[in-house]
Copies of this chain bind each other. A is one copy, B any other.
Amino acid sequence: MNFSSKLLENAVSEMSQLPGIGKRTALRLVLFLLQQPNSQTKDLSNALNELIEHVILCESCHNISDNKICEICTSSKRDKKVICVVEDIRDVMAIESTGQFNGIYHVLGGKISPVEGIGPNQLNISSLVKKVNSNQISEIILALSATMEGDTTNFYIYKHLENFEIKITTIARGVSVGNELEYTDEVTLGRSIVKRILFENSIKNIL
């Protein structure tokens, strides 16, 4: 691209470093900012700078937080005996927005993936084991992706926790609510038949 301004070129090149944003999109975004009041761009860059300078990971659950210990971990309303293990902060947000979980979280920071060179030591697994060891935990809920990497990580964690006297559960996998059977993939549908549950159990928590 032929830029008539070095400043514009710099801004576009920095913007296009973001994932999924190519040069053309970056140019569109930057030209949009140029058409807005200068304050908008300043608000954006201030918010980003503030975030990277002051954000903290909760020392207990590794969730993004403004304080040393996050709001969920300090809340007196949450059941500290139930820990939900998730891959990253987006999963915390997704589960929180369901309003169905009242325990606390433990963010691994990814999942075991030999292809991407991520081993168990790069994840927050040892701190989870320590937490289980030194606190009264009754249940660990494994809520990782339903992929091979997720399953591997699940199994690794299970192996490290099986000697403790706790219940280790995993979130239910099956046909999505609202999905028609004919559009469900074969693996999911097959599993959901093999792992069928008693009908009276299926309606217990809903009614």
Residues 22-53 of A contacting B (Cβ, < 8 Å): 25, 27-34, 38, 40-53
Contact between A5 and B97, CB atoms less than 8 A apart:
no
Tell me whether A3 is interfacial, beta carbon within 8 Å.
Answer: yes
Q: Chain A, interface size: which category? A: 35 or more
Q: How far is the CA of A96 from the CA of B32 in the complex (A)?
A: 21
Q: A63 to chain B: which residues have CB within 8 Å?
A: 4
Contact residue among B17, B29, B89 (Cβ-Cβ distance under 8 Å from A31): B89
Q: How far is the CA of A19 from the CA of B47 in the complex (A)?
A: 18
Beyond A11-B48, A48-B41, whether A65 also contacts B29 by CB under 8 A is: no
Question: A residues near B, CB below 8 A?
Answer: 1-8, 10-11, 13-15, 17-21, 25, 27-34, 38, 40-55, 58, 63-66, 70-72, 88-90, 92-93, 96-97
